[in-house]
Each structure stands twice: as structure tokens, then as C-alpha cells.
């Protein structure tokens, strides 16, 4: 299928209480694992890209990989830009064929975050792509920014309402609800009452950041409360490295590179499939596309 924008499919996912997995791609093999894993389970999927990864590969190769692989499968695939505070990169993604982008102004004071997010919103709306925007500080490392877990700031409810009212066509909203990027040092403390209050007041699907390391029960509770986009980055990176190195341990004398790449692919794809099953999006490709 041609690439799709994520807003409509996230709205359908939210109303039917399943989550759509959003994996941070690394290279061609990783995109292959994400899209094939979703296709095998007939699930909608989001391939998202960090600005660091765009700086490494460039806009066009990434867009070409994702578009060409998406065209070989029958499930909806969205190409999304993860955490970005640079409007020029956002414009570059849109020009290269991304179908949604995230503007992250969460480190700014509320008024400034809203003003800059609104600028990104206007750019995205006029290009017909979806926008994700964030309030509060999600803990851990996101690209160059580090937020200590204990210092992570929960989103303020009144600000969430005001923020979303200013951008009613937001594809997905990311309020900080206590999750963090990276592996959790302790038990993640998710602010479920805040999440429920937000979804009760705001008619926009919610993004759950910092998915790596949450329990099945935590995923289910967040998805039941309105989290329709579930981000997985750290575990995917881990599988990328361990899948490759694990083949060296199994076959110490292997001298052909392709089996390493295949082992890496299988390791990443297994995690993609596990997450899709946990998020309840298996068999939901037609539903997410609005054909069911």
C-alpha cells in the first residue's frame, strides 16, 4: 500500500481500544523487520525516525526504504518523524514524503511550546500530514536531551486541554504521564488518573512514549485509557545489536555477512510481532484503514 497518515488510523485504534506500535527504525534491515513483522500479523504500523537517524542517512534513503517496503504489503504503514524541535527538519521530512511529524517543544515554557507547536501544526496541516506534539517532560534520553527520571515533569491537565483546543486536528498528543525513554532503573510510575482525565476531556489519540520495559498489564491499562500510539525504541535497538552479535556466538566460524543480517532481522521482527500482539493490533489492518 502507499504510505498513510497516522491520524485517522489512530482515531480508529483509540475508539476500538487497541494500540498501534511505532518503532524507531535504524537502517534498511530494521525497516524490513518492522514492516514485515506487521504484515505477517495483518497489523497497522508506524515506522518512526529520530533526527539523529535522519542526520546519519539523509531524508531520501529513509523515505525510499519505507515507501518501497510499504508498497509490498497490504497493511497501512505511516512514516513518522520522532521528537524534533527543528522546523527545518520537519519541513525536510514533509518534502521527502513523511506522512507525519512530531514537534517536541516540551522543554520550552508552556506559552512558547504552544506557539511553536502551533507553527508546526500550520506547516503540517497545509501539507496534509499529521502532527504529534508534547507537553511535560518524558524522562530519559531522547536524542541529545536527557531528562532524569525522578525529575520528569508530568503534564499539567489544564495546559493539556488548552494545548489541544488550539490544535483540534492534532494526529496524536503526547502528555508526559510518568513513562521514560530507555530502560527503566526502577518501577515505572504511570499517572493513570491524569491519563484518564486527559482522555476524558480531549478528543485526540494519545501517544505512549517510553514503551520499552513496561509490563503487559501496564500496556493494556494505558491502551484501555486511550493510548493509541505506543512507541518502542530502546528494545528495537537492543535487538538490532544483540541479534547480530548473537549469531557470532552461535556460529563462531561464520564468514558470510548475510546470515548475520538475517539473524538480526529475525531478532527485531520477533519483538515487533510480540509488541503487536500485546497491543491488540493483530488482524486490525482493515479496521485501521477504515475498511472494516
Considering the rule CB under 5 A, would residue 273 count as an interface residue with Zn ion? no
Q: Which helix (H) or strand (E) holds 179?
A: none
Query: Cβ of residue 6: shortest distance to Zn ion, in angstroms?
Result: 15
The active-site residue out of 42, 64, 82, 292 is: 82
- Out of 11, 209, 269, 287, which residue is the one contacting Zn ion (CB under 5 A)? 209
CB nearer Zn ion, residue 67 or residue 116: 116
Q: How many whole angstroms separate alpha carbon 275 and alpha carbon 23? A: 10
Phi first, then psi, for residue 105 (nearest 5°) are -110, 25
Q: Which stretch binds Zn ion (CB under 5 A): 8-16, 106-114, 208-216, 249-257?
A: 208-216
For residues 137 and 122, give the distance between their C-alpha atoms in angstroms, rounded to a whole number: 23
Q: Residue 209 or 229: which CB sits closer to Zn ion?
A: 209
- 3-state SS assignment for residue 68: helix
Q: Which residue, 209 or 269, is less far from Zn ion as judged by CB?
A: 209
Task: Identify whether 42 is a catalytic site residue.
Answer: no
Q: Cell for 143?
A: 536524542
The C-alpha atoms of residue 176 and residue 149 are separated, in whole angstroms, by: 11
CA distance 91 to 203: 27
Q: Which residue is nearest to Zn ion (CB)?
A: 209
Stretch that binds Zn ion, among 8-16, 202-210, 261-269, 284-292 (CB under 5 A): 202-210
Q: How far apart are CA 108 and CA 102, in angstroms?
A: 15
Asked if 229 is part of the footprint of Zn ion (rule: CB under 5 A), the reply reads no
Mind telling me the catalytic residues?
Answer: 82
* Binding residues vs Zn ion (CB under 5 A): 209
Amino acid at each position: 500500500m502507499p504510505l498513510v497518515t497516522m491520524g485517522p488510523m489512530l482515531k480508529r485504534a483509540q475508539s476500538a481500544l487497541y494500540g498501534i506500535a511505532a518503532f524507531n527504525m535504524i537502517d534498511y534491515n530494521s525497516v524490513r523487520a518492522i514492516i514485515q513483522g506487521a504484515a505477517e500479523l495483518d497489523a497497522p504500523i508506524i515506522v518512526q525516525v529520530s533526527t539523529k537517524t535522519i542526520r546519519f542517512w539523509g531524508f531520501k534513503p529513509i523515505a525510499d526504504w519505507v515507501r518501497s517496503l510499504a508498497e509490498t504489503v497490504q497493511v497501512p504503514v505511516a512514516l513518522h518523524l520522532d521528537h524534533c524541535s527543528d522546523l527545518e527538519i520537519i519541513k525536510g521530512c514533509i518534502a521527502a514524503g513523511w506522512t507525519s511529524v512530531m514537534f517536541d517543544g516540551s522543554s520550552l515554557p508552556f506559552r512558547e511550546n504552544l506557539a511553536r507547536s502551533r507553527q508546526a501544526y500550520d506547516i503540517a496541516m497545509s501539507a496534509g500530514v499529521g502532527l504529534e506534539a508534547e507537553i511535560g517532560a518524558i524522562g530519559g534520553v531522547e536524542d541529545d536531551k536527557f531528562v532524569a527520571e525522578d525529575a520528569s515533569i508530568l503534564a499539567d491537565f489544564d495546559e493539556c486541554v488548552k494545548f489541544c483546543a488550539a490544535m483540534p486536528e492534532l494526529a496524536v498528543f503526547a502528555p508526559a504521564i510518568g513513562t521514560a525513554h530507555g530502560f527503566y532503573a526502577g518501577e515505572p510510575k504511570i499517572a493513570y488518573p491524569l491519563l484518564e482525565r486527559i482522555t476524558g476531556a480531549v478528543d485526540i489519540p494519545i501517544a505512549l512514549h517510553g514503551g520499552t520495559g513496561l509490563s503487559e498489564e501496564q500496556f493494556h491499562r494505558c491502551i484501555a485509557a486511550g493510548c493509541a500510539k505506543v512507541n518502542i525504541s530502546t528494545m528495537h535497538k537492543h535487538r538490532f545489536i544483540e541479534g547480530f552479535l548473537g549469531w557470532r556466538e552461535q556460529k563462531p566460524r561464520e564468514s558470510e555477512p548475510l546470515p548475520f543480517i538475517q539473524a538480526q532481522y529475525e531478532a527485531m521482527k520477533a519483538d515487533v510481532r510480540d509488541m503487536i500482539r500485546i497491543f491488540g493490533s493483530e488482524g486490525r489492518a482493515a479496521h485501521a484503514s477504515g475498511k472494516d
